[in-house]
A = this chain, B = another copy of it.
C-alpha cells in the first residue's frame, strides 16, 4: 500500500461555503467522497427558487467538486439521491442523469425523505474514482 494521506476540501471553486462543519470532498487514494449537494445558489447561500434550477445547480456543484478532487462526471461510481416528492422530482433527476452522465451512468439509490436542511427538496451524494 503506497503511503498516502487524506485530502479534504472545505472550499471548492463555484460552490457556496459548506452550510455546516463538514468538508465538501475528501479523497483517499483513488477514491473521492462528495458530501450531499443541494441546489444552493452561491450568490445567496440559499436554495434556488425552483426545483429545476436546484437540479441544475446540483450538477454544476457536482462537476466542480469532482474536478477539484481529481475526478469528473465520467468517473462517478455511486450516487444517493434524497428527494421530498418522488413523483415530482424523480423525472427531473432522470433527465439530469441522462444529460450529465451520458453513457457513464453511475449506480443510484433514490428515496423520498421527510425533510432536508433549509427546507430544501433535492440532495445528491456521490462516490467517484480519482483518475488525475
Residues of A that sit less than 8 Å from B by CB: 1-2, 6, 8, 10, 20-26, 28-31, 33-36, 75, 77-80, 82, 84, 86, 90, 94, 97-98, 101, 104-117, 123, 125, 127, 129
Contacts and interface: CB of A to CB of B under 8 A. Distances in A.
Nearest to A96: B21
B109 A35 contact: yes
A33 B111 CA distance: 17
Q: Could you say which of A28, A97, A104 has the most chain B C-beta atoms within 10 Å of its C-beta? A: A28
A114 B117 contact: no
A108 B35 contact: yes
Q: Could you say which of A2, A33, A84 has the most chain B C-beta atoms within 10 Å of its C-beta? A: A33
Given A21-B98, A36-B111, A86-B116, 11 more contacts: A8-B104, A8-B106, A10-B105, A21-B97, A23-B107, A26-B106, A31-B77, A33-B77, A112-B114, A112-B116, A113-B113
Given A82-B111, A111-B116, A125-B109, A1 B25 contact: no
Nearest to A90: B117
Contacts of A6: 75, 77, 104, 129
